[in-house]
Amino acid sequence: MTTTAPVADARALGLAHHAARGVLEHVLGRHGITFQQQIALRAAVTTDTPQTPDDVVTQVQGSLKTDPADVHAALDELLAKRLLVADDAQLCPTDAGRKLLAAVGAELAPVSARIWGGIPAEDLATVGRVLALVTERADAELAALTT
């Protein structure tokens, strides 16, 4: 008996995304932050130099394709939780913000290893190329729709 491999399509991509995001959101919920807050906090933490709120909004909007007002709201929530602080016109992560991301990363590491483990490197490379191409094409289509 032969089985055919599933075809990669928008539905398969969506199912994989939502399954993985569900795991992430479960962990984030235990730490008291949302997915969007985590993305914004990570954008502020992983930069070499402090960014303005607009810099972070632009970066998060580019990743999540979301309303800038929603990202500003997430930044306000991170400021209220003291995970970010405003220093003049720039946002800086606090020690608490850095520790929270480290704790989330430590909790997710073994889960990620179970999810991704055992997938051959050549398969991961192929998927990486395909996903990069899909992202590029979808970004171009979105840009055409919004201009």
**CATH number, domain with residue 105:** 1.10.10.10
Is 5 inside any structural domain?
A: no
Which residues, in sequence order, are CB contacts of 44 under 8 Å at separation 6+? 50, 51, 56, 78, 84, 91, 92, 93, 97
Residue 4 pLDDT level (bands cut at 50, 70, 90): confident
- Give me the number of domains the chain comprises: 2
Residue-wise pLDDT tens digits, 40-82: 999 999 888 889 999 999 999 999 999 999 999 999 999 999 9
On whether both 72 and 103 belong to a single domain, the answer is yes
- How many Cβ atoms sit within 10 Å of the Cβ of residue 78? 26
Residues 65 and 104 in one domain: yes
* 7 in any annotated domain: no
What is the pTM assigned to this prediction?
0.87
The band of 1, judged by pLDDT with boundaries at 50, 70 and 90, is: low
pLDDT of residue 28: 97
- Of 35, 36, 69, give the one whose Cα is nearest residue 54: 69
84 occurs within a structural domain = yes
- List helix spans (H) across the chain: 10-30, 35-45, 53-64, 68-80, 95-116, 121-145
Q: Mean pLDDT, to the nearest integer, of 101-111?
A: 97
Range in 23-32, 82-91, 107-116 with the lowest mean pLDDT: 82-91
Q: Are residues 90 and 124 in the same domain?
A: no
- Tokens for 17, please give them: 């995304």
Contact indicator for 94, 83 with CB cutoff of 8 Å:
yes
Task: Tell whether 15 is covered by a domain.
Answer: no
Q: Are residues 85 and 41 in the same domain?
A: yes
| Domain assignment present for 29 | yes
Residue 144 pLDDT more than 80?
yes
Domain encompassing residue 136: 120-147
